[in-house]
Amino acid sequence: MRRIVIVDDEPHLRRLVRATLGPCCEVLEAADGREALALAKKERPDLLILDWMMPNQTGIEVLQTLREDPETSRVPVIMLTRRTQKNDRRTAILLGIRGYLAKPFSPLELIDLVDKVLEGERVTA
């Protein structure tokens, strides 16, 4: 079973992602960037779904740290965020995200994006 880490400071959003992806994946949760980095190293997930705006450490800072560490540099990341400006998307793409989904989102959109990214596609348009 695929292992996915959802990283978001909003508990209700983590629950929604767990309910959406739980039937097909093992979903682990992190409430902030520090938890996310620890889980990524310990659990070696197949995918991280990462919020941009979080306290203490932004999603972009987490993404940079993941990419700099040889143990986590290849973990695919989907950015799930309210930040929808072209420059935001461009920044995330340059740092190597595989997918970008704006909040609020459709659970079906999330499932489709996760499937594509886990199959190796880059879906950042």
Question: Within the chain, which residues score under 50 in pLDDT?
Answer: none
Confidence at residue 81, expressed as pLDDT on a 0 to 100 scale? 95
Confidence at residue 108, expressed as pLDDT on a 0 to 100 scale? 96
3-state secondary structure at position 28:
strand
pTM score of the predicted model: 0.94
Confidence at residue 122, expressed as pLDDT on a 0 to 100 scale? 78
Confidence at residue 124, expressed as pLDDT on a 0 to 100 scale? 67
17-48: burial string, b at 16+ Cβ within 10 Å, e else:
bbebbeeebebbbbbbbebbbebbeeeebbbb
Confidence at residue 117, expressed as pLDDT on a 0 to 100 scale? 96
CA 100 – CA 73 distance, rounded (Å) = 18
Confidence at residue 75, expressed as pLDDT on a 0 to 100 scale? 96
Quick: pLDDT tens for 52-64: 999 889 999 999 9
Confidence at residue 123, expressed as pLDDT on a 0 to 100 scale? 79
Class of domain 2-118: alpha beta
